[in-house]
Amino acid sequence: MPVIIYHNPKCSKSRQTLELLGEKNITPTIIEYLINPPTVEKLKEILSQLGIAPRDLMRKKEDAYEELGLANPSLSDKDLIGFMIEHPILIERPIVVTNGKAALGRPPEQVLDIL
């Protein structure tokens, strides 16, 4: 069962989730999504696997969220996905994907539900 983690090494929750996977003897494929952001199609797939709307995957405390006016309720899902692709810092992390399922590592133990 291949496991992928969308990881930001500067994020403590992301590091903790990666450590938890290691404790479970899981060596995931690590995608540093700030360097290699997902495509629109991949982000839509992840959102579907998470079962959440684009706004629910956004880091609302990031400066870019306010600067870009992303709290505007008239923005469509397509708009929000576009902003996340253009500004991947807006994507909540970490995200673990395996077996057609995905989980946010907030808290890190939450990813155990899909393993």
Active site residues: 11
Q: Shortest CA distance to 37 belongs to which of 91, 103, 101?
A: 91
Pairing of strands 3-7, 95-98: antiparallel
- Total number of residues shown for the chain: 115
CA distances from 108 to 15, 36, 61, 103, 114 (A): 9, 22, 20, 9, 12
